[in-house]
Amino acid sequence: MNKLTLVSHKLCPYVQRAAIALAEKGVAFERVDVDLANKPDWFVALSPLGKVPLLQVDDAVIFESAVILEYLEETQGHPLHPADPLQRAWHRGWMEFGSAVLNDIWGFYTAMDAAAFEAKAKSLTEKFTRLKRALGESPYFAGASFSLVDACFAPVFRYFDAFDRIRDFGILDGLPKVAAWRAALAQRPSVAAAVAPDFQERLRDFFLARRSFLSSQMRQEAA
């Protein structure tokens, strides 16, 4: 049996995708966190792009979360993709959509002024409005079965848990199917186990350190 090591960062949503998939498949793995602000030499030598996640499979290294997820799907039991090729391709498309949502979230919490901040909030609302039309019957993306699309969006919603602690930005208002999906994912053991207990505190500190429009809002709320 191959030894699997997930090289990680405590806040990275792409690492969470891999950790969730590994847990859903019941695969034993070791997790090693690195400080991306002070990358150790061994990590620089292993990571072609200097990013996480990495999945070490014995002496081999796989990088990029999408590639890691596909490798796990091909080599481990308990499939998280649909069996039908067309449905599988459709799911892969929505996984990529999840990455686009993460890009907008990054733009939201790094925006330097109100105009950029509101533009990203609007873009996020538009993306979730489009997404709601793709959702199947609850609880998960495609209904009763947890899939890799769910693994990709669970870290997305974790950001909204952090945003909601600051104030209600209204991004997900009027989207009950999305809200139900978010709640179902939060209850999934694999999702809960993908981050440390102090994740929300770490993420809040990360937001504050950005010196962005969001961090200014956080300071006003705390005043």
CATH number for the domain spanning 61: value is 3.40.30.10
Using pLDDT thresholds of 50, 70 and 90, give the confidence band for residue 220: confident
Q: What is the pTM for the complete model shown?
A: 0.97
21 and 57 together in one domain: yes
127 and 205 together in one domain: yes
114 and 188 together in one domain: yes
Q: What SS3 state is found at 125?
A: helix
Total domain count, the chain: 2
Domain with 96 in it: 85-222
From 6, 7, 11, 12, the catalytic residue: 12
Query: Pick from 26, 54, 75: which residue ends a domain?
Result: 75
Residue 152 a catalytic site member: no
101 and 189 together in one domain: yes
pLDDT tens column, 178-187: 999 999 999 9
Q: Which ranges in the chain belong to alpha helices (H)?
A: 13-24, 41-46, 65-75, 85-110, 114-132, 148-166, 176-186, 189-192, 199-209, 213-222
Residue 214 lies in a domain: yes
163 and 113 together in one domain: yes
Residue 80 lies in a domain: no
131 and 156 together in one domain: yes
pLDDT tens column, 36-73: 999 999 999 999 999 999 999 999 999 999 999 999 99
d(CA 124, CA 175): 12
Residue 206 lies in a domain: yes
Max CA pair span of the chain: 55
| CATH number, position 136 | 1.20.1050.10
pLDDT tens column, 122-157: 999 999 999 999 998 889 999 999 999 999 999 999
